[in-house]
Every structure is written in C-alpha cells, then in structure tokens.
Structure 1
Amino acid sequence: MVATFIDPNRHRAVLFDLDGVLTDTARLHATAWKRVFDRYLAERPSNPAEDHGPFTDADYRHHVDGKSRVDGVLDFLRARGIWLPRGDATDAPGAETAHGLGALKDEQFAAAVDEEGVEAFPDAVRLVESLHRGGIATAVVSASRNCARVLARAGLADAFDVRVDGVVAAELGLPGKPDPALLLEAARRLGAEPSRSVVVEDAEAGIAAARAGGFALVLGVARTGAPSALVEAGADVVVPSLAEVVVAASGQRRLSEVPDGLEHWDTVAARVRGRRPVLLLDFDGTLAPIQEDPAKVSLSVSTRTALQDLARHCPVGVISGRDLRDVRSKVRLEGVWCAGSHGFELAGPGGEPIAQRAGEAALPDLDAAEQCLSAQVAGVAGALVDRKRFSLAVHYRNVRPEEVDHVITTAQQVGAQLPGLRVAHGRKVVELLPDIDWNKGRALRWLLEQAGLTDPGLVPVYAGDDYTDEDALQEVHDEGLGVVVLSPEHGDRLTWAHVSVAGTGPLIELLSRLAGRPR
C-alpha cells in the first residue's frame, strides 16, 4: 500500500474526527441510534406514506454519522417520510421532537460508554504522537456532546491542542457537518489556514464538510466499510488504517498540479539528463483504454507499432496486474520484458517465467477466496471475479450503483478472513493479493535487477494511471521519471508523478521523444 504523507513543510495542523477515527465508539453510537429509532418507528401509527422499517447501517452512514444529533434525527426521519418539530434543548429525553429523540439517544450512548468503556485505536495514537514530534498542531472535531467524556475514558484527554465538539457548537450557534463551520472554528483556534491543514474523517458528512471548507488534504478512514462512499463525498485519499499515514516530507502533489509532459518538456529533459531511458509501463488504462469487459482490452495497431519501434532503441517493460501469460498474449512484442500479477511473475524477451517464491505460499488462500467470492457475488449483476495466478480481482465497473458497496465490502471481508492475503483498491476493482511486502514498485526494481538494467547511465521511466501504479511512481521518484496518464475517474488525487499526459497517444509521443524517436 502506498503511504499517505502529512508533510510538515506543507501542513500546519491536522483535525481529527472522534468516533471511528480516534476511538471505537462509532459502534456504540450506531447501536444507540438503532435502539431509539427502531422503538420509535415500531410505536408510531401505521402510515402508507412512511417507512417504518428497522434502522440500518446504511441509514447510520448516510443520514446520521458525523452530524449533530438533532440534524441526524431530522435527516433520517425525513428520509422515511416523517417530519418532526425540531423542539429545543429543554425537551425531555424521548419527547417527540428532534431534540427529545436526540437526548434519549445521548442517554443510551452515555450508559454504553460507562458500561463497556472506550478504546483508542493504536494506529491513531501513534499518528497523533508522530504529529506532535513533527511540530504539527492537532485538534479533535466532533458533533458529539460526549466528546470530552469519550476522550477521557480513552486516555486522550490531553492529547490535542484544541477540542471543538457539540458543546462548543451549541455555545457558538455553529451548524453541524456537512457544514464546515466546526472544522473552520478548530482551524481558527489553532491559528492554521484551512489550505495548510489536514482533516481525517470516517463519515460522509465530515468528508463533505472538509471539502467545502477548502482543506489541503481530506483523508478518509474506512476501517470496516467500503471506501467508495468516502471517495464520492470528496476524500482525496481513503486508507483502511491510520498506520498507512506517514508524517514526513513527500514529493506527492495533486493531479491538477502535475505539469503536462509535452508542454513542459524542459522538466522531462532535466529528469533524464542525457541518460538512456528504460521504459516501464502499466497496461490497462495506460497502453490500452479501459473496457467494461477486461478480456476485450487490447493494444491499438498504432500503439503496438510505436512500442515495437521503441523496443529497438531502448529497453521496454510492461508491468501489469494481469497474469503473466495474459500480459504476454496482449503485448506480443519482440524484445519486451513483461511482469504479471503486479510483478509476482516476470519473463524477459522469449525467456522462461520467473516467479516470486514468497507469493506462492498464498496460492491456497487465493483458491479459497475465489471459491467464496464467486459464490457470494454470483447474484450481483455485472460483478466479475477474475482469478489470476497470484491475485484475485473483483470488478464492479458494471455493477448497479446501489450494489457497489456490497461488492466492495464482501471482497474486503473475504480478504480479512484469510491471513495470507491483503486487499488493494484500483479503478473500479478490489484485488486480493499475497500479504507480503510486495507491490509494483518492488516489481519494478526486481525487473531492473533481473534484466541487468541498473547501470548509472540508464534512467527508469514509469508510466501508469491507477492507484496501484503509485508504488512504482514512488520507486522512480528520486532517480527517474514518473508519468501519470490522467483519467477523470480519479478526480484530483495525490500522485508521485513528475509529469502527466492526457492519454495513450500523448504518452507514446512523450516516450518517443525520450527515446530520440520523435513522431
């Protein structure tokens, strides 16, 4: 997994949500809300215009999570066709107003905290400590009125420079998320501009608030759920754990900040500095356009001809998530190295395949995952389980939007149950891979070593389009050239690339100029 950087040179403050990000209390909130809403809906007189079905996890994520308790009540009930008066803060717990139901939920949540206790996530604690060592200010920002109580029970009472919670919001009359007011107030108290601050959130409402507030980096945390909703809400990066976040200066920047390689040829020339290029290329989305059916992806005649010409003048390799046999059958070029399954298999021009032995230990788990996932998503129209030797890809490009989260969550759960595997996310695909320290960056380095292409007179050039290509782009960042092929599906995410191109055609033109073969 590519590390996400919080850079002390760019970021002055980090604002954390509480429940689900710092502490394990999101489940307590969800349970308390379910008890209140299920009882209220069950006791409400039947009405064909109203939906009295049980409160679900999806209801919690879309209507309640991250919002003030009153707004959460109103938003959820309106979604069920029910309009309640807002009431006021003096309403008794259980009164038929938004304040009354919210107060009842707070009573149940507080009791659960006292009975079950609170635990801070270890990865969150380590990140906060690392931020303090790096001189970066921190704040906790929560809609909860129980924020101070939860922090104290978790041992985090003194861990943050600023706390802006539901109590502060009520005192100042600040609207809750998805309005950015709470986040902006926390940044103001820290003396940090939003454009120099990071927000860490696990709720759609919180992500939307951070995006609306103009924060420098909006970091989503999907510890258990699917990341797609956070991406759609506006997250720059979504991680399954804060262990993936590193406090260090980085060379990453947004896609919109990466200069076009053809328009800024001087940038490219400076990186190459007269050395002979070694061209290492992703396949799907880079050399060939993405297709709804992965089996139909193929090189165009013009791209194949250009690559063959390039291979006569400089080393060329293709590194793909596809099986090695599949990659070689689609490339079909003389003199080209091919790496399949994200580099777990490698073959030189006309040579025998070389497999990473460490990956072979995961084959039984991949077999089990294939059998399990094929059965579990068999009824989902458009879902495609694509088994490769060293990976298992679950494509959801053709799945109906309302079923995408189910497919992603199912793949994540299967991966979590098999100790030999890890989960990776790409463009409209979830992949299960051997859980070893291996990625496209290491595959790139291995290819260079196996091919004898590590001479100082050579410069590695990598081009890719997807999240999974960032490991390889990071690998060449210091000594080579990274090129990102832009795609509207990836929004304005962070990348390690030095330059960008607008598609396969411009990429081939750039590579041809690098190899001294202008087109």
Structure 2
Amino acid sequence: MVATSIDPIRHRAVLFDVDGVLTDTARLHAAAWRRLFDPYLAGRPPSPAEDHRPFTDDDYHHHVDGKSRIDGVLDFLRSRGIRLPRGDVEDEAGRETAHGLGGLKDGYFLAALDQHGVEVFPDAVALVESLRRHGVGTAAISASRNCGRVLERAGIAHLFGVRVDGVVADQLHLPGKPDPAVFREAARRLGVPPSHSVVVEDAEAGAAAARAGGFALVLGVARAGPPDRLLASGADAVVSSLDEVVLASPGQRRLSEVPDGIERWADLADRVRGRRPVLLLDFDGTLAPIRKDPAKVALPVRTRSALQDLVRRCPVAVISGRDLSDVRSRVRVDGVWCAGSHGFELAGPGDGSIAQEAGEAALPDLDAAEQRLTAELEPVAGALVDRKRFALAAHYRNVRPEEVDRVVSAVRRVGSELPGLRVAPGRKVVELLPDIDWHKGRAVRWLLERAGLTGAEHVPVFAGDDHTDEDALREIHDDGFGIVVLSAEHGDRLTWARCSVDGTRPLLDLLSRIAATGEQR
C-alpha cells in the first residue's frame, strides 16, 4: 500500500478538490441532482429503451460527481438510454436540453447552499495550513461555477493561491474531468509540474483525471463507504479522513514507530552523558492530565514533588498555551522557568517577565474575535471560548460530535476575517493566535538563549503530547531530543520525537534518569 504521506521536498504543490474534500457540499450537490432527475424521469413517457428508476448514490458517483453539470446531465441520461441536445448557455432553466436542466440543478444547489450554509472539514483545513507553513503551494479545484462562492462562505478562500473552477474552465475552454486539463492548469499556475504535484480527490472522475495527468500522487478521500471505487479509478491511496495524511520529513516517524524511552534508555543515555540536560516540558496532557474543563486541570502532588527534585539537578522550564500567570499558578515550583501563551510571555525563576512585543499588535483583533465567537458559540452546548492574553481558544471536547464542525468553522471564519490572527488546531481545541512567525519551537530557542543555556555542553530535552508541540520537538531534534507522551486521540501521526512514554509517570521516571546522567558529567 502506498504511504499516505506528502513529502514537502518532493511534492511542491497539492491540488484539492472542493466539494467532498474541503467542504461538505457534495451532499448538497447530490441532493440537487436527485431533485432534478427524479421528477424528470418520472414524467417521461414509458419506453422500453429508457430506464426511469430514481436517481441513486451510485449514479451520483459514476456519472456526475466531479464533472461539469452539463457533462453530468448528458452522461447520466445517456446511462438511462436518454439523449438530449446540449443546448446553449442562454437556455432557460428547466428547458429540455443539457444546459436547461443544468441551470435548474444549479438553482436547486444555490437554494440548498443558502438554507444550509457551508460546513468545512477541519481535517482538510488543518492539512492545507500545514502544507502552506512548509512552503507547499495549494490550489482549489472544482467543476462547479459556484466554487468561489462556496470558498468565501466557508472562510477558506485565502488558503489557496490558485483556483481553477467551472468559470475558469469555461473561459479557457478546458474539457472537464476525467480529462486532466483543469489539474494541469492549476499546476501550471502554481509553477510546479504534475510530476511534483499531488491531487486530493473524492470523485471517480477526478481520480481518473489525475492519474491520466501524470501527477506524482493521487490521494483519494472516501469519507463514507469503501475505498474501492477510488482505487479502481486511479487513486494511489485512499483515506477516510485527511487526519491520516501526514507531512513526511527526514527525521520524522509515525508514533507507532517511536521506541519507548525506558526500554531504549541505553541509547538515550549516550546523548546525555557528559552534557548538562535542560528539561523543557509541556503542561496540559504532559505534566497534568487533560480535563473536560480546562479550569479544573491541576498538577498532581507526585508530579510537583518530582519537578522540585528535577529543579535541584538541572534547569527546568514549563511551556504552555495557557497565560503565563495561569501556568505559574498551577506549577508552583520554585526555580522553574515558565513560558505562557505558546511562548509569547516568558518568566524566569524570579518575579519578572518578558513579553514578545510583536504579539501586542494582535490584541485588538483578539478582543474582537472574543466578542464575536462568544456570541456565535453561545447556543452550542459544551463549547467553551477561553481568552488568554495572546490567544483565544475554542474548546469542543464537550460538544456533541454533530456540532464540532460548527465550532471549528466559526473559529476559522473569524480568524480569516481578522488579518492579525492565524488559526492553530490542537487537541479538542482550535485557537486564534497572533499572525506572526512564532510557535513553541521559536519559544524554546528564545528561552534557551535568554537563560544562557545554549552551547555544546547543554542538551535540550523537550516533552509534549500535542500537535502544537511538534514545532518544539523539531526545533531541538538536532542538538537535543524529544519525548512524546502518547495519546489515543492523535492516532498514528508523524512526530519529531526520538522516544515515547505512555503517560506522565513513565515520563517522570525517564526525566529523572536524564537528570541523574547529566549529574555524572
């Protein structure tokens, strides 16, 4: 089986189909096609040469999904023994031509769009944002002439440097899928050849088009149902969620491949021996257990005692997404460095603190986002809007599964409308942060430099559990090493960690061994 990973070095562009991959509008299209064809077929005079059974899901996947609506009308009716003239773009909606019936279907779709809105798939947006952070070009592809409207309504239009849709295809006279012309045009506009581009599709016609176009990787998305139809159409691999797709880089491994730190202690000891360890620790999910209510998270007594012992043996810092004052009040261990708001605020063992001035400019946008999201998410049971000084978090751990997309979409939309902010996904939470080049990795390096803990005599050791910790794990990968605290919530993603532990207790055991080895310098 082909690995479901994208290599940012080799794959310099990724082309995403919109309906069904980025947004949950494929179901609106399917409903609009059914609303068009069922009465049309039922109203035709009986004929032994024609099949007038209702429109089915198989009909949608085999004959219309991914195609222009004109091609979809002609292909489906031809499969039922019915042939209509193509007609003209000026045909009135409902006229018995491909353009006339297609216009009627378009009206049904737009009515459904206005009634139901656009839901965004959070897994898709998280992948797009990760690709952009790695410098990979992204394009949105659709046979629909309403693609721009859908992306704007979804609040994700800004994520795509190129869009090739039904409007562009008509302007350039590009043939529709399964011809690869629209994909090749998107790759051309991104300046990347198909041989270095990836296509992400949920439609049979789209997978066939990408395969015919010679693209480096054709990735199918089957959010419901078996993957066979996409594999048979030309997909190299099929996933049920884009959370299963990871960005591969040298030095990364899947969580399932990362060795246990206690079992492989002899190998780790060689990296520490003769150097002074600097312990850099995430808080929630690493030192303290995750709780349904973030306000109720507390540092266990055993963990606090272990931290007090570690501080006497080597430098220790706690780095959290919480406010600096919040994380300090929960740690309460003398001698520990603390960084809050993903490192926007830093405090040493004394009372003084330092704030990143670049984050101050985003405070008005964070204030506005807090007001808007508090009002918009108030009706969503279990949603929690948590304002920190340099961040705004929307927690959905206690939200019903069918309401999660509503929370995530609201945060992404508000973030896209406020230029000073960016969106950061996390563990059952999505955050808005100042839109500057800053993350836990930069915070770790800044802390090490401010504390004078750099140089070959020091070995930084970072421990974390979440997606947001990967920036820090990557930052210290070469001159130190990372530890990932395993959690079933994160599946089998890629990580920069060199070893893993199964919970806080084995983490403290491993940290104690590291500190003791460092004392033997």
Normalising to structure 1: TM-score of the pair? 0.67
SS at match of 2:194: coil
Residues 108, 254 of structure 1: alpha-carbon distance in 2 compared, 3 angstrom cutoff: same
Paired letter, 1:204: R
The 5-angstrom pairing of residues 186-201 of structure 1 reads 186=211, 199-200=218-219
**Contact 2:221–2:238 under 8 Å retained in 1:** no
Alignment correspondent of 2:292: 292
Choose which of 28, 33, 36 in structure 2 pairs with 1:36. 33
Per-residue deviation at 1:351? 2.7
Per-residue deviation at 1:495? 0.7
Residue 314 (str. 1) matches residue 333 (str. 2): no
Alignment correspondent of 1:428: 428
Counterpart Cα distance in 2 of 1:414 and 1:349: 37
Per-residue deviation at 1:91? 3.7
**Contact 1:461–1:481 under 8 Å retained in 2:** yes
Residue 19 (str. 1) matches residue 22 (str. 2): no
1:73-104 Cα shifts (integer Å, max 9, x gaps): 9xxxxxxxxxxx9993644469xxxxx99x96
Residues 454, 153 of structure 1: alpha-carbon distance in 2 compared, 3 angstrom cutoff: closer
Residue 204 (str. 1) matches residue 223 (str. 2): yes
Counterpart Cα distance in 2 of 1:363 and 1:485: 32
Counterpart Cα distance in 2 of 1:211 and 1:281: 43
Counterpart Cα distance in 2 of 1:488 and 1:422: 27
1:206-229 Cα shifts (integer Å, max 9, x gaps): 99679989x99979xxxxxxxxx8
The 5-angstrom pairing of residues 347-496 of structure 1 reads 347-496=347-496
1:421-473 Cα shifts (integer Å, max 9, x gaps): 00000000000000000000000011111111113201000000000000000
Greater displacement, 471-480 / 270-279: 270-279
**Contact 1:177–1:205 under 8 Å retained in 2:** no
Per-residue deviation at 1:14? 9.6
Residue 160 (str. 1) matches residue 194 (str. 2): yes
Counterpart Cα distance in 1 of 2:59 and 2:220: 11
The 5-angstrom pairing of residues 64-103 of structure 1 reads 67-69=61-63, 88=79, 90-92=81-83
Alignment correspondent of 2:182: 150
Counterpart Cα distance in 2 of 1:298 and 1:211: 47
**Contact 2:177–2:205 under 8 Å retained in 1:** no
Counterpart Cα distance in 2 of 1:422 and 1:266: 41
Paired letter, 1:378: E
Q: Which runs of 5+ in 2 are unaligned?
A: 43-56, 68-75, 86-96, 107-141, 149-156, 163-175
Residues 40, 182 of structure 1: alpha-carbon distance in 2 compared, 3 angstrom cutoff: closer
1:481-506 Cα shifts (integer Å, max 9, x gaps): 11110000000001111111111011
The 5-angstrom pairing of residues 229-378 of structure 1 reads 230-231=241-242, 235-237=244-246, 249-378=249-378
**Contact 2:13–2:196 under 8 Å retained in 1:** no
**Contact 1:285–1:464 under 8 Å retained in 2:** yes
CA RMSD across the alignment: 4.9
Per-residue deviation at 1:39? 4.1
Alignment correspondent of 1:6: 7
1:281-327 Cα shifts (integer Å, max 9, x gaps): 00000001110000111111111101110000000000000000000
Counterpart Cα distance in 1 of 2:198 and 2:338: 53
Per-residue deviation at 1:396? 0.1
SS at match of 2:402: helix
Greater displacement, 310-319 / 349-358: 349-358
1:97-143 Cα shifts (integer Å, max 9, x gaps): xxx99x9669979xx9698999xx998889xxxxxxxxxxxxxxxxx
Counterpart Cα distance in 2 of 1:105 and 1:18: 24
Paired letter, 2:325: R
**Contact 1:66–1:177 under 8 Å retained in 2:** no
1:324-353 Cα shifts (integer Å, max 9, x gaps): 000000000010000000000000012311
**Contact 2:315–2:336 under 8 Å retained in 1:** yes
Paired letter, 2:257: E
Per-residue deviation at 1:236? 2.8
SS at match of 1:304: helix
The 5-angstrom pairing of residues 212-223 of structure 1 reads none
SS at match of 2:444: helix
Alignment correspondent of 2:54: none
Residues 396, 277 of structure 1: alpha-carbon distance in 2 compared, 3 angstrom cutoff: same
Per-residue deviation at 1:363? 0.4
Counterpart Cα distance in 1 of 2:393 and 2:146: 39
Counterpart Cα distance in 1 of 2:60 and 2:478: 40
**Contact 2:323–2:388 under 8 Å retained in 1:** yes
Residues 301, 181 of structure 1: alpha-carbon distance in 2 compared, 3 angstrom cutoff: same
Counterpart Cα distance in 2 of 1:325 and 1:434: 19
SS at match of 2:337: strand
Counterpart Cα distance in 1 of 2:61 and 2:414: 31
Per-residue deviation at 1:251? 1.4
**Contact 1:276–1:314 under 8 Å retained in 2:** yes
Residues 469, 163 of structure 1: alpha-carbon distance in 2 compared, 3 angstrom cutoff: closer
Counterpart Cα distance in 2 of 1:210 and 1:266: 48
Per-residue deviation at 1:37? 3.9
Counterpart Cα distance in 1 of 2:316 and 2:226: 41
**Contact 1:117–1:153 under 8 Å retained in 2:** no
**Contact 1:66–1:205 under 8 Å retained in 2:** no
Counterpart Cα distance in 2 of 1:306 and 1:153: 59
Counterpart Cα distance in 1 of 2:274 and 2:322: 33
Alignment correspondent of 2:506: 506
Normalising to structure 2: TM-score of the pair? 0.67
Paired letter, 1:250: P
SS at match of 2:473: helix
Residues 216, 351 of structure 1: alpha-carbon distance in 2 compared, 3 angstrom cutoff: farther
Residues 178, 506 of structure 1: alpha-carbon distance in 2 compared, 3 angstrom cutoff: farther
Per-residue deviation at 1:146? 4.6
Residues 67, 477 of structure 1: alpha-carbon distance in 2 compared, 3 angstrom cutoff: farther
SS at match of 1:321: coil
